[in-house]
Structures are given as C-alpha cells and as structure tokens.
Amino acid sequence: MLLPVESKQIAFCSYNEEKAELQLYYHTGEVVAYHSVGKADYQSVVESTNRLDALMKLTQKGHVPFGTEAYLDHVGEMT
C-alpha cells in the first residue's frame, strides 16, 4: 500500500514487512529502499501528523538505503 507523504520531494512511501524494507517514492520517479526497518518504526510514520518529519527521523537512525554507494560500502564491510 502506498502511503501519501505531503512533501515537495517525496510523493509516497510503502513498507515490505517480509523484507523489513521501507521504500520512498520521489516525485522524480526515483525509488529508494531502506533495509532493516522495523514494523513499529513504519507504524510511527503511518500514525504521525507530519509523515515527512517522521520519515526523516527514521532514515537518519542509521538505516542505509539500497543501491547507493553507502550501501555498497556497508555490504563490503560486512563480508
């Protein structure tokens, strides 16, 4: 389910419970996925009166987005 985010940059977000993955859908068409996001963290975004602020707090908790150079570095550190 796509959850609307009232932001100039982010259009929607969604959550894949099976993968514990948060996806952010930007107005540009870009999709960024954050891994290891707990269901309770995502639920806090759903229930927030300011979803953008809740998302920013969540994504700054140390979650590394998939497909970015930081993610590739993170995976390299794990091996």
Domain range annotation of the chain: 3-78
Give pLDDT, residue 62. Answer: 64
- Ordered per-residue pLDDT tens for the chain, 79 residues: 899 998 999 999 999 999 999 999 999 999 988 888 889 999 999 999 999 898 888 877 765 555 544 444 444 444 4
Written as one string, the DSSP assignment of the chain is: --EE---SSEEEEEEETTTTEEEEEETTS-EEEE-S--HHHHHHHHH-SSHHHHHHHHHTSS--BTTSHHHHHHHHHH-
